[in-house]
Structure 1
Amino acid sequence: MLPHSSDDVRGALYIVATPIGNLDDFSKRAEQVLRDVDYIAAEDTRHSRKLLNHFGIEAKLFSIHDHNEKDKADYVASLLDDGKNVALVSDAGTPLISDPGYHVVHALRAQDHKVLPVPGACALVAALCASGLPTDQFFFAGFVPAKSKARCDLFESWKKQSGTVVFYESTHRVYDSVKDVEKVYGDTAQLVLAREVTKTFETFLSGTASEILTKFDDDANQMRGEFVVMLHFTEENTDESEQEIKRILGVLLEDLPVKQAAAIAAKLTGEKKNGLYKMALEMQGD
């Protein structure tokens, strides 16, 4: 018997990952859990019904989506209280990762109900591990704003973010999003766009924002599909930024005490004052 199958436990919610494209990525455990549970809560019951029919799984479905999940939390809790097992699935990939389900899981955890993960496909992890960008630290931003001003403000805030930044984008906005990356970063960041991950036309595009835009202009087909966008500063650009900060500090230290120089440099560069204070002390020591 599979560990943590729905035959082992009663009154549990299973968070079940489903394929993001290639149906062979559907795990045996996920398939078995969906066969065994009493109910399946789906983001879109019509979409999930197609997957279940493909694998010959009969199930009682009900919907949990962005607009009803707070209300559905009590209903799911009542099913678990009755000893029923429920599986939560999204349209594709791992539920709750830029998909509905957080409010349900949060409420059930607060009531000490069993919530069990059944891991599998996740677009951001699949894309990141094949991107060639650093993976030791990354920040996932979900879907970015639709409006350019809000998007640029968000991109600006990432300048203080260490590691690789990952976000999702649609075919209708990917060009404008990359254009805004270029507006905020110029060519100081490396981009990798993973398109249609695990699907027939899976493609990875790499380069600076301007290079990616040129590829879009040359072939409009490269803008079709669902995108995972990954952004990372290159080491060379980090060095250039640090040199500029040291130059500013050096000028200020000629006429100001360390604390005041660090405070003014923080306002000019957007860096943290404590870090600049330590840098200034090191510069004076040198």
Structure 2
Amino acid sequence: MTDTNLKDSGILYVVATPIGHLDDISYRAVEVLKNCDLILCEDTRHSKRLLQNYNITTATRSLHAHNEHHISASILAQIKQGSHMALISDAGTPLISDPGFPLIEQAHQQGIKVMPIPGASAVIALLSVAGLPVQPFTFHGFIPPKKNQRLAFYQSLLPLNQTHVFYESSHRIAKSLVDLSTILDSEARVCVGRELTKRFEHIYSGNAEEVSQQIQESTNHQKGEFVIAVSGRISSATLTLNDDTQKLALLLKPLMAPKQAASVVAEHHGANKKQVYEFIINSSND
């Protein structure tokens, strides 16, 4: 290894792997995977293609959601005895909606060195091309599968004071975007990445209704893996509230909860309560 002598002490490497295109892996990641003692895979069968492509012959072991709580202790014991291990997921950066949290948590508790080997991430890949503000953004992982829960989740995002990113499955994407279009107004922006870095990669962009229609145009548009980013017009409230309304909102902000203050201001000045709420929330960042 160029940066760490593997014979000094046990290290747990967290290695990002490609999300689709096999070339999207760093030289350092390949070197770590070739030289460590064991590779912990979400699915050894899935990872076999990547490892064979780079002539990586290191032994593998499965670590997934159904066994990680049971085998983490034995894995960490081996690392403490001097073994060097690499954790990979089926695609992308481990722990981003993937198994591995109990292992990493316990490693830190036991003073074991955990070293990141960065690389591909579907979330970051989409945000880099979405054309949406990303400071700040919140990543939610996979959203609830049932319609009522999904609608409640979408409703909880309002007002859109930042960008929200989440995953959705192929068999729910069409219905999910229809639900999203019933919650968001036409000003909110949506970007969907399908099969990022793969042969049939496609980026859909527009408001929720427009993107929903694009996805529904063909069943082929509903195949693959999806990342969704949603963002509002963060500063729009300040463009429509007059000076008196803004002054009262700022006066009440330290005195009561934002929703309560927004209700009082909206009633007193006949303003839009949602816009007042957005102004109060965003003014805290000035």
TM-score scaled by length of structure 1? 0.84
Question: Quick one: which amino acid aligns to residue 149 of structure 2?
Answer: A
Aligned counterpart, 1:217: 216
Aligned counterpart, 1:190: 189
Question: Quick one: which amino acid aligns to residue 107 of structure 1?
Answer: Q
Classify 1:210/1:236 alpha carbon distance in 2 versus 1 (closer, same or farther; 3 Å).
Answer: farther
Aligned-residue offset at 1:186: 3.2
Aligned counterpart, 1:2: 2
Q: Give 3-state SS (helix, strand or coil) of 2:197's partner.
A: coil
Classify 1:261/1:120 alpha carbon distance in 2 versus 1 (closer, same or farther; 3 Å).
Answer: closer
How many pairs were matched up?
269
Aligned-residue offset at 1:188: 3.4
Aligned counterpart, 1:283: none
Aligned-residue offset at 1:214: 1.7
Classify 1:242/1:204 alpha carbon distance in 2 versus 1 (closer, same or farther; 3 Å).
Answer: farther
Percent identity of equivalent pairs:
37
Aligned-residue offset at 1:238: 4.2
Do the aligned residues in 1 keep the contact of 2:7 with 2:82 (CA within 8 Å)?
Answer: no
Do the aligned residues in 2 keep the contact of 1:15 with 1:118 (CA within 8 Å)?
Answer: yes
C-alpha distance in 2, partners of 1:193/1:97?
Answer: 18
Aligned counterpart, 2:43: 44
Aligned counterpart, 1:124: 123
Question: Quick one: which amino acid aligns to residue 76 of structure 1?
Answer: I
Gaps of 5+ in 1: 280-286
Aligned-residue offset at 1:10: 2.4
Classify 1:185/1:9 alpha carbon distance in 2 versus 1 (closer, same or farther; 3 Å).
Answer: farther
C-alpha distance in 2, partners of 1:51/1:261?
Answer: 50
- Any residues of structure 2 matched to 1:51-62 within 5 Å, and which? 51-62=50-61
TM-score scaled by length of structure 2? 0.84
Do the aligned residues in 2 keep the contact of 1:138 with 1:162 (CA within 8 Å)?
Answer: no
C-alpha distance in 1, partners of 2:61/2:257?
Answer: 61
Do the aligned residues in 1 keep the contact of 2:195 with 2:224 (CA within 8 Å)?
Answer: yes
* Bigger shift: residues 260-269 or 227-236: 260-269
Alpha-carbon deviations, 1:30-63, whole Å to 9, x = none? 0010111111110001111221112111122111
C-alpha distance in 1, partners of 2:183/2:258?
Answer: 27
Q: Give 3-state SS (helix, strand or coil) of 1:205's partner.
A: strand
Question: Quick one: which amino acid aligns to residue 188 of structure 1?
Answer: E
Q: Give 3-state SS (helix, strand or coil) of 1:25's partner.
A: coil
Aligned counterpart, 1:282: none
The reply on whether 1:181 has 2:180 as its aligned counterpart is yes
Alpha-carbon deviations, 1:174-213, whole Å to 9, x = none? 1111111111113231100011111111111101111112
Aligned counterpart, 2:151: 152
C-alpha distance in 2, partners of 1:262/1:42?
Answer: 46
Classify 1:102/1:262 alpha carbon distance in 2 versus 1 (closer, same or farther; 3 Å).
Answer: closer
C-alpha distance in 2, partners of 1:143/1:42?
Answer: 20
Aligned-residue offset at 1:264: 6.8
Do the aligned residues in 2 keep the contact of 1:188 with 1:237 (CA within 8 Å)?
Answer: no
The reply on whether 1:32 has 2:31 as its aligned counterpart is yes
* Bigger shift: residues 153-162 or 59-68: 153-162
C-alpha distance in 2, partners of 1:218/1:235?
Answer: 30
C-alpha distance in 2, partners of 1:204/1:108?
Answer: 38
Question: Quick one: which amino acid aligns to residue 85 of structure 2?
Answer: V
Do the aligned residues in 2 keep the contact of 1:12 with 1:86 (CA within 8 Å)?
Answer: yes
C-alpha distance in 1, partners of 2:57/2:257?
Answer: 69
Aligned-residue offset at 1:7: 2.7
Classify 1:104/1:160 alpha carbon distance in 2 versus 1 (closer, same or farther; 3 Å).
Answer: farther
Aligned counterpart, 1:263: 260
- Any residues of structure 2 matched to 1:36-185 within 5 Å, and which? 36-160=35-159, 162-185=161-184
* Bigger shift: residues 72-81 or 86-95: 72-81
Question: Quick one: which amino acid aligns to residue 135 of structure 2?
Answer: D
Aligned-residue offset at 1:227: 0.8
C-alpha distance in 1, partners of 2:258/2:87?
Answer: 55
Classify 1:205/1:242 alpha carbon distance in 2 versus 1 (closer, same or farther; 3 Å).
Answer: farther
C-alpha distance in 2, partners of 1:92/1:260?
Answer: 42
Do the aligned residues in 2 keep the contact of 1:192 with 1:229 (CA within 8 Å)?
Answer: yes
Question: Quick one: which amino acid aligns to residue 173 of structure 1?
Answer: R
Aligned-residue offset at 1:173: 0.9
